[in-house]
Chains A and B, each alone.
Chain A
Amino acid sequence: MTALLEVRGLGKSYPGTVALHPTSLWFNAGEITGIMGKNGAGKSTLIRLIAGAESPSVGCIMVDGRPVRFSKTSDAAAAGVAVVHQELSDLPRATVAENVLLGDLPRRAGQFIDGARRDALARAALDRVGLATDPRSRLADLSVADRRLVMIARALRKDARILILDEPTASLNEPEIARLHDLLRVLRGEGRAILYITHRMQEVDMLCDRVVVLRDGHLVADGPIDTCRGERLISIIAGQSLAQKSSVSAAAPLGARLTLENLDPFATGEPFELAVRRGEVLGLTGLAGAGRTELFEQIMGLGRSTVTLRETDERIELRSPRAAVAAGVSIVPEDRRGLGIIAPFDLAGNITAASMRRSRLFRGVPLLSRRIDHRRGGEMIARLGIRAIGPSAGIGSLSGGNQQKAIIARSLTVGSRLLLLDEPTHGVDVDAKAEIYGLVRKAAADGVAVILVSSDLPELERLADRVVVLANGRPVAELTGPDIAEKTMLRHASA
């Protein structure tokens, strides 16, 4: 039997990195394949190549035994490949019917939309996924689970024989997950090949016939689910971690305890507390959608309820980012380009952006001295080893790792009491990573309390003194010492 979809030696490289080493895989009709791996393992790259969103550097794709070339996503769609993305890629303001029939609305008398046929076609497509919603209702009024079903309905209407679902159960509850799985089993029975990307062991166990594991861009396991489950699967995903924790973790004496009260990232009305001591690096991890970023936003005063910072007798309400910065709380946001760098400023200006007051020409007058600004920027550039031509370098001309160091420098100039780092080494190369680890350790040694959000588990193994695992916006486990291991963290996060 020929496989419905085959990838042969398929690989993708970008300048400087290899996202996916040449990989060969078969996907059969009537089979659900779980695709697993940590963030950055190469899952998304594989999917993007199969979906035609990117062209492979090497290798080829075969559908029904015939080689195909996808130079754009519509080529893949024409060959019967449909992707339901993790982020909803739909039109929330349009109706359900318009979303299902997007790009393929029935017309009559030229360009006029045939409303009756549109609704009938949409109705039929929705029935296939077991969704009883009125096709004329607005998509934004549907739950996330239903919106995913609408996306699947769209894929089925285009008669997708190869259906790829990327983390389809993120932010779904148990009954919704069960309903989705029932649907997928029906679709399997119809002879479709289903590629199911997930982080959750349990789902793979319940649903999939076969599991494929990627790690660091390599295919590391491919076999029937019976041969590969539980602890064994976790070990395969985690791999051997080479990094030695002792290499960066310094046994600095811990200082005063900071307590963050009234944390409630998802506004559930049941707040909790987190404590972190000066000199300590507290790691926070959890699956996508576990509320890590929302938690940081709340601490910075952007949440619905206000967090209180307590240190010995001092209580500070973190009402706004201004109040947080004034209290010595600063953040290095996750999306560096979107949230961190301020392009019109030079490097020094980016470093001093949160502490411009100290670059004043005269006390009490908000006139800036370029000289002082550049001197202060230069000090941080030297201290953090930022590679740039000087304080006046354009921030955009720096490498990702050095931009990240500049944003960390900005946080440190605030005279931080509490430093929040959100995925600080996301998208930076290995050397810059090691330097950033050094910086974080040094900041802690200087008496700063650090909270580090990371989905890079080896990074937490290496850097964190203590790890709190989040799920659904709440802490579910606290790990210290030898328990800070990839396997343990994965088990708690995917439970």
Chain B
Amino acid sequence: MTTVETRGPALAGSTPALSRVIGILQRYALPIAILLAVALFGSLRPDAFLTWRNATAVLTLAAPMLVAALGLTVVLAMGEIDLSLGSAIGLGGALAVCAMSFFGTPWPVAIVLGLAAGAAAGLLTGAMVVRLGANSLIITLGMASVLTGVEFLMTDQRTIYTGIAQGYIALGQSEVLGLNLQVWIAGLIAICVHALLWHTEWGRGMYAAGENPEAAILAGLPVSALRIAGFVIAGLGAAIAGILLTAQTASAFSNAGQAFLLPAYAAAFLGSTASSDGRFTAFGTVLAVFFIGIVQTGLTMVQLSTGAISLVQGALLIGAVLLSRLGRKERR
């Protein structure tokens, strides 16, 4: 009787050296992209781009975006989606400003009100998604409209710039140790989110719930509570971003948060390419926000038209993601 020969899996047809280079490119796509961007804009406008002033300006501009994107990272790590992020940013900032402007509320209380609004919105979303089993995509799409509606009812769609306390404005405009206070706040939040996701039981449970909900439930993890907590964190992050934003401009203008929604997603997804298994991490999101901020500032400095900036920005984003996908396919 003949025996059946055993064959190993077919080998992909590439040399080890090439696949190692591809591996490095894929693994470090984001840091490489940041270096390339700095080198590119630095060589185009060395006098303006490669300055401490510009570096701090990039960081300051990126701070509110970073906070919002970090909250979103938590939701994405759990395998959920939050489209109400932009509206929660707008509502959080507008509520704090309105409280001061209309009622003369002391600024710390106004901040607490703004944070509470963001957290409450997250809690409501989380409860609907988790307890009633609704799809987070459509629920948060509805919540986006609801929250924007609340903001507009409050502000009448006017820009509010009177009656804002100096202490509040100082949040966005004072410097500590050579950096804007917002940068320190955003950095602190980044550390907190990193610690939450990597070093706590909750974070482990969140990743587990996103990766393999059945396994997480069977292992006895409190998956429902964690999911709700994730949405609350995203709501809080959005509210903080809204407060930082209004403090930076010393005003609350209508629907200010919407412009942050898609860049926040871009940052989180781009950041997920920084981990070897495509996981959403705080660290990756920080890198991605830097990258997007650097490109935005650089493109403005080389005085491209708005259309060209938009085009190049999109192309760079796609390019960075594709770079990280290099070599993934042949591994399948």
The tally of CB-CB contacts under 8 A between chains A and B is 99
Of the residues B4, B204, B216, B279, contact of A349 by C-beta under 8 Å: B204
Partner of A15 from B7, B199, B215 at Cβ < 8 Å: B7
- List, in ascending order, chain A residues with CB within 8 A of B14's CB: none
Verify B215–A22 contact, CB threshold 8 A. no
In-complex Cβ contact of B212 among A14, A58, A300, A341 (8 A): A341
In the bound complex, what is the Cα–Cα distance between A289 and B91 (angstroms)?
53
Task: Name the distance in Å between B85's Cβ and chain A's nearest Cβ.
Answer: 23
The chain B residue sitting closest to A11, CB to CB, is B4
Q: Mark the stretch among B31-39, B135-143, B219-227 that contacts chain A.
A: B219-227
Q: Given A13-B7, A57-B5, A353-B219, A333 and B214 touching (CB < 8 A)?
A: yes
Chain A stretch 373-425: residues in CB contact (< 8 A) with chain B: 410, 414
Are A324 and B220 closer than 8 Å at their CB atoms? yes
Chain A interface size range: 35 or more
CB of B201 within 8 A of CB of A339, answer: no
The minimal Cβ–Cβ distance linking B221 to chain A, given in whole angstroms, is 7
CB-defined interface of B270-312 with A at 8 Å, one 1/0 digit per residue?
A: 0000000101000000000000000000000000000000000
Are the CB atoms of A342 and B214 closer together than 8 Å?
A: no
Interface of A is mostly: mixed
CB distance from A394 to the nearest CB of B (A): 8
Indicate if the CB atoms of B207 and A321 lie closer than 8 Å.
Answer: no
Q: Within B181-228, which residues are at the interface with A (CB < 8 Å)? A: 195, 199-202, 204, 207-208, 211-212, 214-222
Query: Is A248 part of the binding interface, using a Cβ–Cβ cutoff of 8 Å?
Result: no
| A437 contacts chain B at the CB level, 8 A cutoff | no
Q: Is A243 an interface residue (CB 8 A)?
A: no
Q: Known contacts A15-B6, A349-B204, A368-B200: does B220 contact A22 (CB below 8 Å)? A: no
Are A368 and B201 in contact, CB atoms less than 8 angstroms apart?
yes
Decide yes or no whether A315 CB sits under 8 A from chain B: no
Is B2 among interface residues, defined by CB-CB distance under 8 A? yes
| CB neighbours of B222 from chain A (8 A) | 322
Q: Does A269 sit within 8 A of B, measured CB to CB?
A: no
Q: Pick the residue among A340, A357, A360 that contacts B215 (CB under 8 A).
A: A340
* A269–B56 CA distance with the chains assembled, in angstroms: 69
A21 interface residue, CB < 8 Å from B? yes
A439 part of interface (Cβ distance < 8 Å): no
- Chain A, range 46-85, C-beta contacts under 8 Å to B: 57-58
The chain B residue with its CB closest to the CB of A396 is B277
User: Are B214 and A339 touching (Cβ within 8 A)?
Assistant: yes
Residues of B within 8 A of A339 (CB): 212, 214-215, 218
The reply to whether A325 and B9 contact each other, CB–CB distance below 8 Å, is no
User: A256 within 8 Å of B by Cβ?
Assistant: no
Is the CB of B8 closer than 8 A to any CB of chain A? yes
Provide the A1-23 mask, 1 if CB < 8 A to any CB of B, else 0.
00000000101111110100110
- Residues on A with C-beta less than 8 A from B201 are 356-357, 360, 366, 368
Contact present for B4 and A13 (CB under 8 Å): yes
How distant is B80 from chain A, measured CB to nearest CB, in Å? 16
In the complex, residue of chain A having the shortest beta-carbon distance to the beta carbon of B9: A15
| Contact-residue size bin, chain B (C-beta under 8 Å from the other chain) | 20 to 34
Is the pair B218, A366 in contact by a Cβ cutoff of 8 Å? no
Whole-angstrom CA separation of A326 from B218 in the bound complex: 12
CB <8 Å contact, B221 and A353: yes
Inside 8 A of A266's CB, which chain B residues have their CB? Answer: none
B219-275 residues at the A interface, CB under 8 angstroms:
219-222
Name, among A16, A300, A349, A353, the residue most crowded by chain B CB atoms within 10 Å (CB to CB): A353
Complex contacts, B219 vs chain A, CB 8 Å: 321, 325, 330, 342, 353-354, 410
The answer to whether A140 has its CB under 8 Å from any CB of chain B is: no
Whether A344 lies near B6 (C-beta < 8 A) is no
Q: Are A300 and B4 in contact (CB under 8 A)?
A: no
Central interface residue in B4, B201, B214, by most chain A CB within 10 Å: B4
Q: A366-B200, A367-B200 are in contact. Are A22 and B207 (CB under 8 A)?
A: no
Which residues on the B side are within 8 Å of A353 (C-beta)?
A: 204, 208, 215-216, 219, 221
B166 to chain A, nearest CB (A): 37
A302 to chain B, nearest CB (A): 8
Chain A residues within an 8 Å CB radius of B200? 366-368
Contact present for B208 and A13 (CB under 8 Å):
no
Bound-state Cα–Cα, A360 to B200, Å:
8
Q: Contact check, A341 vs B218: say whether CB atoms are below 8 A apart.
A: no
- B116 CB to closest chain A CB (Å) equals 24
CA distance A368 to B195 in the complex (A): 10
A274 within 8 Å of B (CB atoms) = no
**Minimum Cβ distance to chain A for residue B48 (Å):** 42
Any chain A CB within 8 A of the CB of B1?
A: yes
Which B residues lie within 8 Å of A357 (CB)?
201
A344-B277, A357-B201 known; A18 vs B6 contact (CB < 8 Å): yes
Contacts of A22 in B (CB 8 A): 1-2, 4
- On whether the beta carbons of B212 and A342 are closer than 8 Å, the reply is yes
**Residue-wise interface mask of A (324-342) relative to B, using a CB-CB cutoff of 8 A (1 in contact, 0 not):** 1110001101000011111
| Inter-subunit contact A345/B207 (CB<8 Å) | yes
How many Å from the CB of A238 to the closest CB on chain B? 23
Residue of B whose beta carbon sits closest to that of A22: B2
Task: Say yes or no: A13-B5 contact (C-beta < 8 A), given A344-B277, A345-B208, A367-B200.
Answer: yes
Other contacts beyond A338-B212, A344-B277: 14, CB < 8 A = A21-B1, A57-B7, A58-B4, A321-B217, A321-B218, A330-B219, A333-B215, A339-B215, A339-B218, A341-B212, A342-B207, A345-B207, A354-B221, A356-B201
A sample of 6 inter-chain contacts (CB < 8 A) reads: A325-B219, A333-B214, A338-B212, A339-B215, A341-B215, A368-B201
A residues with a Cβ closer than 8 A to B are 9, 11-16, 18, 21-22, 57-58, 300, 302, 321-322, 324-326, 330-331, 333, 338-345, 349, 353-354, 356-357, 360, 366-368, 370, 410, 414
